[in-house]
Structure 1
Amino acid sequence: MKKMLLSLAITAALAGCGGGETLEDVKNDTPPVIPSATVKFDPANGVISVPNDLLMSGTKDGTLNIPKELDDNGVSITRAEYANPSFALGALDGWSSQVPYKVDISFPANVSLDESSAGAPGSVRIFEVIMGASLTDADCAAVPAGAGCKLLGELTFGVDFITKANGNAVAIIPLKPFKAGSSYINVLTTELKDSLGRSIEPSSTYGLVSEETPLITESQLALQGVVNSYENVVTSGGTISKDDIIFSGAMTIQSVGPVLGTIKKLLAASLQNPALPTPMVQIPEQPLLTVEQVFASQGVTGLSPAFAGVQYQKGSVTLPMYLSQPEGKEISNLADTYWQGMCSSPVAVLNQQAADQALREAGKEDEIDPTMFDVGPYEPLCQGLSERRLHDYPKIDITRHLTKYNPIPKVQSQQEVPVQITKPILPVINFIRTQSLGMSALEMPAGGWPVVIMQHGITSKKEDMLALTASLAIQGFATVAIDHPVHGERGIDVDDDGIDDFNASTGSVLAYMNLQSLLVARDNLRQSAADLLGLRLGLNLTNDTSLNTQDVSFIGHSLGAVVAPAFIAQANTPLDEQVDGLFKVNTVALASGGGGIASFLLESASFGPFVQGSVLLAAGTAESAEFATYLQTDAVSNCGVFAENQQAYVSCAYPEYITSLTVAGETAKTAKIQGVMTQFAFAAQTVLDSGDPTNYATSLNALGTPVYMNVVVGDGAGNLPDQVIPPTTVNNPIAGSLTLARLMGLSTVATTQGPNAEPSSYLVKFTDGGHSSVLSPQASAAVTTEMQLQIATYLVTRGRALSIQNTEIVTD
């Protein structure tokens, strides 16, 4: 953005007044003038509160323009440099749907924000609008990009959002996610007061450009046009006047579905297009092996005899990998492995065409590079997969960020992924059903066993989900499972020495939830969802006729429950009646999931200290250096026992460091550290949004897919709530497990439901147990038994009934 030069001449004159008063008399009798508090807004000098679409101005590729993202020649930083959390925002086509944000205010000495006005309705108003250059509204398509065009409605204070004072700022806290891809205008009004009871004033810059005063430079005129368009749109509804407005700023929420939606289309197209490999689940002939024997080989004994009635098999499926391989063994080597577009952004192409045309009009044809529009190897695919809208021009759009304009990801490799399969062994299962459970005997249905796809949690592996297979086999289900990327058998061995260099199951959680490169963390989440789409399609092409691949359900635990809404929403969204059944998932069970990933990670009792400690170490502040020294010195005495495990060591040391600052009265330092965490939460959640379940929950609800979810909420006494993914978070009311359940439309129940004529969706809150109780009886055997019973009965009735037997450990 060009520097905008503004000057404001202020003149004052004092005239003699009647009564013989002198100038000195006037000075003595006039009370001192206290300057007004003003909203901070001076884009020319980098003073702007985010989110704000002014950072989309002059975009090269349809993404946000982050300061210093481009050099003086307009060349972008390297892909690896987008690991910086601030720069990572420059890879996005908009802002977060859910993270709290603030508008900063400048106050004179001894004046502050009136907290009651900051938290009152009317001080901040949010309007949903359509912006110029719309892809969906014909009336606004011809309006310049970045300008407000059409008013759609106003959000409701206390229902959609709340506000409160936050130091020298007013914080805006969403209570519901903003709509992905939609635009909003935030308006601060004269109802916002300072501690003297005066209305906050616009900044001099905003005051100038919001008027019709003739301005001089192109940048001044452009800003004036944008601000006036905002005010014209919001006042068009007649509920607010321009005199009420002290600030307005637009924000466009990033797209979250186009890329995964494109992957589903590519998978579907692979059924007919030989250029696109089709996933196929292959299960070779193998000796009979039971899950009981698998557990015994791992030293696990004393299990239910039902595990002897579950057959265990290994197969494989070849899936497209959109993550590239690292070239080194350090976490930093993962920085540029995030997803990349196959094609050039059409925004970048238009910009290049406009630049070339400008040179022609200026008579500088000799400065035009004729090779800019030379096509690359992906040109046929880009053209064929986009109805000829996209191109592969290798010299245009080198970064290839994926956006709503450019949604086709580049396949980096095809990976053969191990698949775990289980099936009921009828003689054993029927003995248990008839002799122990009083149930009738099973027969394999004519179409084969219905299938449950299972997905494990972070730092876990697919084999851990075998704990569910006995209860599912008793109900007549087969199961299939794969590892998440960079987990279990899918670790990354950089130098092919047989030892994984990156594996979240056996090494650092950062291999998957990468805090050093948030774009990698986001795309690990998206890869998990994409893999499940590929697995679901591949089941239809299996060589095993004992599986009914038209009757598929899903169970996700922890991370498996986190990625589930993205997977299920895409799988069940209609595409074409000829392929919809090949992706359909009929019933879903989720255990210990949650949304608002950045917020719940920071507040997680288990992961929070490690996450916060890692963020502080990377922040580059004086406190960062002090904490690094603390790790080498003071922390050793109490945390040295964890010295061989970085995650455990930092998790131990960080709370001790914060406690030492608190005891020493170092309030300034703790405030700075909290500021680092707030900034990280904003950047991290914004980057992770397109992989966050919160943004898919309402779509899943609208599709009508029946969903069961359990959450450990504790009893308020000795039994704690989930210590990994908290049910609720302090700093973000949208984050946590319970809000995700609400957004998915689940009804909280504590007694048996049904059988009903139609499927229903339920949330069950457990007062006992822990994060992994659905798999392990360690925290409470009663909870494990009850959770598994609930899941099995819900899935076997396809969501029409839910059995709750132990009502003493659940609550409404």
Structure 2
Amino acid sequence: MKKLLLSLAIASVITGCGGGETLEDVKNDSPPIIPSATVKFDPANSVISVPNDLLMSGTLDGTLNIPGELDDNNVSVPRAAYANPQLALGALDGWSTQTPFKIDLAFPPGVSLDAASAGGPGAVRIFEVVMGASQTDETCSQVPAGIACKLVSELTFGVDFITQGSSDSVAVIPLKPFKAGSTYINVLTTSLLDSEGRSIEPSSTYALVSEEAPLITDSQKSLQAVINSYENAVTSGGQISKDDIIYSAAMTMQSAGQVLGTVKQLLAASLTQDALPRPTVQIPERPVMTVEQVFASRGITGLSPAFAGVQYQKGSVMLPMYLGTPTGTDVSDLSATYWQGLCDSGVAVLGYASSAGASFPTDPISENDGLCMALSGGKLRDLGLDQTKHLTKYNTIPKTQSMANVPVQITKPILPVINAVRVQLGEDELVMPEGGWPIVILQHGITSKKEDMLAITAQLSVQGFATVAIDHPRHGERGVDVNGDGTDDFNASTGSVLSYMNLQSLLVARDSLRQSVADLLGLRMGLNFTGQADLNAQDVSFLGHSLGSVVAPAFIAVANSPLDEQVDPLFNVKSVALASGGGGLASFLIESARFGPFVQGSVLLAAGIEESAEFSAYSQNEALSNCGSLAADQTAFVACAYKEYVGSLTMAGETEKLANIQGVVTQFAFAAQTALDSGDPSNYASAVAALGTPVYMSVVVGDGADNKADQVIPPMVASNPIAGSLPLAKLMGLTTVAETQAPTADPMSYVVKFTKGHHSSVLTPVPTEDSGATAQESAAATTEMQLQIGTFLAARGQFLQVTNTDVVTE
């Protein structure tokens, strides 16, 4: 897809406006003025703060226009080039719904920002609006794209967002995600002051184009129309006047859910269309094994006798793979494997139809073109218009790159043994329900594998559940052996975490998350066709740990959203249990005690600044004394070396170098969260709450003394109030409890904070070295977590049993 560079897309509409962050004469007779602080706004010289919809100007496929997306021949760069974190933004149809951002200011010497004014209500105001070319508002659909059409509402300071001074900028910090796909206008007002007590001034460019007086050139008039539409929209409610405004900028949030919604529709369509493969879970007849025997084969003994009452089986399911297959064995060979559209973008199709007129082909020109027409109701085509085929709200059909025969793990209760355990527990004996055992889908964490989830199958069997589980893509039995030598080249369970959470290509990381969700949707549907009378595919729940919890909100939101009354029961999930999950992926990864140093070190190595070379040299020399023993483990070695390097800079008082490092990490965080947004659970949490699906969540918050909070996914993140485990629980509408919840008529949703235990306590009582938990405390946490999950799922959210209140807190 050809796209216009920033210098073309933006400068073309403002040529002749001039102006930057310092005031300059725009008329020959302008008198000299005393230098004032201004808002940085000089698009002609690529000086704009992001997010800003001016980067949508001239788009041909509905995505952001980022400098560097075209080569010297005006052709889109190869797909692998989008591994560049900044360039990755060019694959998106909008900005992040949740990452904090800054609006930059310029100050003359001796003048600075009045931090109190920047952190108070009124300095920044945010308005939700409907833009032109709207797909949902008939009136606004007739207004040109890029023009603000009508005001929806103003956001509330302190509820929806807060602000604060940040050096020479104003930082805007969302307190809840913006609505995916919606547009907002950020307004800076005269309440924003400098250290002299004066209002910050608009840049000369903004001052010129915000006036309603006639301008000279067409380019000036174009930008004037855009800015005037912003100001007209936000002032239409009567709560702010144009005299109050020193800056305004629109930001459209990227879409979230449409592509995964299309995946569900394609799965549903496979019921009636032979051309689309229908997932079916195949469970061949094999000699019966127990989970106890499986553990024994791995050298694990001394477990609860209940594991002898859990039958273990293996099956498979064919699932569409939208991730591409790497052609080489280096991690860089994953860069082009992110999802791709099957068709041309709808924006490109409409643009071509408008220009082609009667010559626009109404009949399919190829088999794939016909498929695009059939699957989209004629809205999408494959006419060779779109080189990149980025998936957006305008292009929602992903291309199936391959079909994967995915191993499935199945467990079922063995009644004589399970009932003996239940009698010992004082519980009534079980009888298999008439429709078969209800099912819990299990989903493991990152670098783990489906077999690790067997640790909770005894508790679930005691509660009368069968379970099914698959590996995340590029995990466990789903590793990728490119060269056929019998060893996986890409497997996050046995190799690098980058095989899945690929920091070298954020679009691959995003689509790894989406592939996990797509796989769960396919597995859920495939359970309806097992041919097993002892499995009840009409009664399915879900349990996720860590990464399994991260992908769960998207899975639940899509699976439980109504599609068709005949199809909905095939996807429905009755209740959900999540252990150690979290939202705001980029923020919590950067601040994770376990993964943060590795992420930050990797970012620094790739940043290309002076400190990058210095850190590389430090890693190969000084760091070896304390980190050399970890050299075989890339993640551990980089993390250790980074901590050593930053520690040495801190001891030496190298504040400028530390600031440079923090700067590149902050830039990466913005790009990473923006790129990952459509796979982030925070963007699906409100849908889960609205659907009313009962959700239980456990979070290790620590005891404030020796037992630390979760060291992998922090409960809270200092830099982003939306990120972490507890904010995700809040967004899903979970109620914090610390004692047994009596049976209720309607399902409820709860979060339980554990003072004891660690990130993986739901599966193992053995404490990790970095958790600070004792063996006894860790074992108590595991027992309590598993019991809470079992009773909650068994009651489908109508009851929660809390037995050991010593390991939980309000």
What is the TM-score normalised by the length of structure 1? Answer: 0.95
| Contact 1:372/1:396, CA 8 A, preserved across alignment | no
Q: CA deviation at 1:665?
A: 1.2
Other-structure match for 1:400: 389
Q: CA RMSD in A?
A: 1.6
Which residue is 1:329 aligned to? 329
Alpha-carbon separation, structure 1, partners of 2:235 and 2:190 = 15
**Cα distance, 1:354 vs structure 2:** 5.0
Instruction: Check the 8 A contact 1:525/1:563 in 2, yes or no.
Output: yes
Shift of residue 715, structure 1, vs aligned partner: 1.1
CA distance in 1, matches of 2:660, 2:356: 48
Q: 1:134 is paired with a residue of what secondary structure?
A: coil
User: How do 1:206-245 residues align onto structure 2 when only pairs under 5 Å count?
Assistant: 206-245=206-245
Tell me whether 1:439 sits opposite 2:427 in the alignment.
Answer: yes
Is it true that 1:520 corresponds to 2:491 in the alignment? no
In 2, are the aligned partners of 1:34 and 1:108 still within 8 Å (CA)? no
Q: Does 1:104 align with 2:115?
A: no
Once the two structures are TM-superposed, the CA of residue 218 in structure 1 deviates from its matched residue by: 2.8
Q: How does 1:259-658 map to 2 (within 5 A)?
A: 259-354=259-354, 375-393=365-383, 395-434=384-423, 436-658=424-646
Shift of 1:713: 0.3
Deviation at 1:374, TM superposition (A): 8.2
Once residues 673 and 232 of structure 1 are traced to their aligned partners in structure 2, the CA distance between those partners, rounded to angstroms, is: 41
C-alpha distance in structure 1 between counterparts of 2:714 and 2:37, whole Å: 39
Structure-2 residue corresponding to 1:364: none
Shift of 1:9: 3.9
Shift in Å at residue 373 of structure 1? 10
Q: Is the 8 A contact 2:539 2:574 kept in 1?
A: yes
Match of 1:740 among 710, 715, 728: 728
Cα separation, 1, equivalents of 2:477 and 2:649: 43
Does structure 1 conserve the Cα–Cα contact (< 8 Å) formed by 2:784 and 2:803?
yes
Alpha-carbon deviations, 1:162-189, whole Å to 9, x = none? 0000110000000010000000000000
**Aligned mates of 1:623, 1:111 — CA distance in 2:** 30
Residue of structure 1 equivalent to 2:771:
none
Deviates more, 1:248-257 or 1:371-380: 371-380
Cα deviation, residue 756, structure 1: 1.2
1:203 is aligned to 2:214: no
Query: What SS class does the counterpart of residue 667 from structure 2 fall into?
Result: helix
Decide whether the 8 Å contact of 1:485 with 1:512 is kept in 2: yes
For the residues of structure 2 that align with 1:272 and 1:468, how far apart are their CA atoms?
37
Which one of the candidate residues 795, 798, 801 is aligned to 2:796? 798
Amino acid at match of 1:706: P
What is the alpha-carbon distance in structure 2 between the residues aligned to residue 376 and residue 329 of structure 1? 34
Q: CA deviation at 1:78?
A: 1.4
Q: Does 1:777 align with 2:754?
A: no
Between the aligned partners of 1:700 and 1:684, the Cα distance in structure 2 is 24
Shift in Å at residue 89 of structure 1? Answer: 0.3
Matched AA of 1:60: L
Q: Distance in 1 between matches of 2:480 and 2:307?
A: 32
Is the Cα contact below 8 Å between 2:364 and 2:370 reproduced in 1? no
Deviation at 1:644, TM superposition (A): 1.2
Which whole-Å CA distance do the structure 1 matches of 2:375 and 2:363 have between them?
19
Taking the aligned partners of 2:652 and 2:87, their CA distance within structure 1 comes to 35
Deviation at 1:60, TM superposition (A): 1.4
| Deviation string, structure 1 residues 496-548 (Cα, Å, up to 9, x no partner) | 22110000000000110000000000000000000000000000011211101
Mapped contact 1:447–1:547 kept (Cα < 8 A): yes
Q: Return the alpha-carbon distance in structure 1 between the equivalents of residues 205 and 505 of structure 2.
A: 36
Superposed displacement of residue 484, structure 1:
0.2
SS at match of 2:576: strand
Q: Is the 8 A contact 2:327 2:333 kept in 1?
A: yes
Structure 1, residues 243-263: CA drift from partner, whole Å, max 9, x if none? 000000000000001000000
1:13–1:579 Cα change, 3 Å: closer
**CA positional deviation for 1:431:** 1.1
Once the two structures are superposed, the pairs formed by residues 140-179 of structure 1 within 5 Å of their partners are: 140-179=140-179
2:81–2:87: 8 Å Cα contact kept in structure 1? yes
Q: CA deviation at 1:221?
A: 1.5
Unaligned runs of 5+ in 1: 15-31, 361-367
Q: Distance in 1 between matches of 2:637 and 2:172?
A: 36
Secondary structure in structure 2 of the residue aligned to 1:138? coil
Q: How many pairs were matched up?
A: 783
AA partner of residue 560 (structure 2): N
SS in 1 for 2:599: helix
Q: Which amino acid aligns with 2:577?
A: A
User: Are the equivalent residues in 2 in contact too, given 1:377–1:392 (CA < 8 A)?
Assistant: no
Deviation of 1:371 after TM superposition, in Å, equals 11
- Looking at structure 2, the residues matched to 800 and 374 of structure 1 have their Cα atoms a distance apart, in angstroms, of 53
1:210-245 deviation per Cα after TM superposition (whole angstroms, max 9, x unaligned): 002322333222111100000000000000000000
Q: 1:12: Cα distance to partner? A: 5.8
Deviations along 1:68-102, one digit per CA (max 9) or x if unpaired, are: 22246542221110110001000000000000001
CA distance in 2, matches of 1:572, 1:373: 36
Query: For residues 170 and 158 of structure 1, do their structure 2 counterparts lie closer, same or farther at Cα, with a shift above 3 Å needed?
Result: same
Residues 451 and 375 (structure 1 numbering): CA distance in 2 closer, same or farther, change over 3 Å? same
* Match of residue 16 from structure 2: 5
On the 8 A contact 2:349/2:380 being kept in 1, the answer is no
For 2:568 and 2:362, locate their aligned partners in 1 and report how far apart those are by CA, in whole Å: 40
Tell me how far apart the structure 1 counterparts of residues 212 and 57 of structure 2 sit (CA, whole Å): 21
1:722 aligns with 2:685: no
Percent same amino acid at aligned positions?
Answer: 70
CA separation in 1, counterparts of 2:373 and 2:611?
A: 51
**Cα distance in structure 2, aligned partners of 1:10 and 1:63:** 37
Q: Secondary structure at the match of 2:421?
A: helix
Instruction: Pick the structure with greater CA Rg.
Output: 1
> Residue 22 of structure 2 aligns with which residue?
none
**Contact 1:60–1:348, Cα closer than 8 Å, also in 2:** yes
8 A contact 1:375–1:391 mirrored in 2? no
Deviation of the 1:401 alpha carbon: 0.3
Q: SS state of the match for residue 676, structure 2?
A: helix
How far off is 1:355 after superposition? 5.5
> Counterparts of 1:71 and 1:647 in 2: how far apart (Å)?
34
Structure 2 residue aligned with 1:26: none
- Write out per-residue CA displacement over residues 559-606 of structure 1, whole angstroms, 9 at most, x where no aligned residue: 000000000000000000001000000000000000000000000000
Q: How far apart are 1:353 and its partner, in Å?
A: 4.4
Name the aligned partner's letter for residue 526 of structure 2: G
1:633 partner letter: N
CA distance in 1, matches of 2:528, 2:602: 43
- Partners of 1:806 and 1:86 in 2: CA distance: 49
C-alpha deviation, 1:380, in angstroms: 1.9
Deviations 1:302-339 (A, max 9, x none): 10010000000000000000001011001100000000
SS at match of 2:139: helix
Contact 1:185 1:250 in 2 (8 A): yes
- Rounded to whole Å, the distance in 2 between the matches of 1:623 and 1:372 is 57
1:476, CA displacement in angstroms?
A: 0.7
Structure 2: which 5+ runs fail to align? 1-8, 19-24, 768-777
**1:691 pairs with one of 667, 679, 686:** 679
Alpha-carbon distance, 1:443 to partner: 1.1
Q: Which residue of 1 aligns with 2:772?
A: none
For 1:786, which of 784, 787, 790 is the aligned residue? 784
TM-score (norm 2): 0.95
Equivalents in 2 of 1:145, 1:73: separation in Å? 28
**What is the SS of the residue equivalent to 1:378?**
helix
Query: What is the alpha-carbon distance in structure 2 between the residues aligned to residue 168 and residue 376 of structure 1?
Result: 55
Q: SS where residue 453 of structure 1 aligns?
A: strand
Change beyond 3 A, Cα 1:386–1:373: closer
Q: Could you list the per-position Cα deviations for residues 722-780 of structure 1 after superposition, in whole angstroms to 9, with x for gaps in the alignment?
A: 00000000111000000000000000000000111111000000001000000000121
Instruction: Please state whether the residue corresponding to 2:336 is helix, strand or coil.
Output: coil
